[in-house]
Structure 1
Amino acid sequence: MTAIMIRNLPEKTHQALEARARRNGRTTEAEIRVILESAAAREEPLGIGSYLKAIGQSIGGIDLDDGRDRQAYQPPSFK
């Protein structure tokens, strides 16, 4: 396995990673590994809705209905 060293990581970022790891029952190293694996596996960037849904699921799950109208937008006619 490859090892990576991250220099000049802000203390607040390190503390946030430690807190996230505790919440998820992992070591800080394991939490960072999960974050990096998830980011590397993502094929295309998440849209804001998908990102918010992922956040909700990471805190225990929130069922968001996909109520988005996928039909093309028709602008109003002012004739």
Structure 2
Amino acid sequence: MPSLVVRNLDESIINALKARAVAHHRSTEAEHRAILAEFLLSPQRKTFAEALANIPSVGIDSDFQRVNDNTMATNVFD
């Protein structure tokens, strides 16, 4: 299996990696592999702009117009 060497890392990054490894009950090397796999092999999340662009264009603007209602709503979240 190929190896990867990462040089000149800031000590704060190494300390964060070690702390994360301890939290996940893994070696530092295993944690490094898990982070790389999670980031590189996971499907990429869409940005908010991409999500909005993917909303289908349906209806007309008047279908979605806000109705002004001056009544006071109480206990909206109950």
Give the structure-2-normalised TM-score.
0.57
Question: Identity over the aligned pairs, expressed in percent?
Answer: 33
> Which blocks of at least 5 consecutive residues in structure 1 are unaligned?
49-69
Q: Which has the larger radius of gyration?
A: 2
Correspondences of 1:65-76 after superposition (within 5 Å) = 74=64
Give the RMSD, CA atoms, in angstroms. Answer: 2.9
> Which blocks of at least 5 consecutive residues in structure 2 are unaligned?
49-54, 58-63, 68-78
Q: Distance in 2 between matches of 1:46 and 1:29?
A: 30
Give the structure-1-normalised TM-score.
0.56
* Residue 37 of structure 2: aligned partner: 37
What count of residue pairs does the alignment treat as equivalent? 55
After the TM superposition, list the runs of 4 or more consecutive aligned residues in structure 1 that deviate by more than 4 angstroms. 74-77
* Residue 16 of structure 1: aligned partner: 16
- Residues 44 and 27 (structure 1), Cα distance of their counterparts in 2 relative to 1, 3 Å cut: same
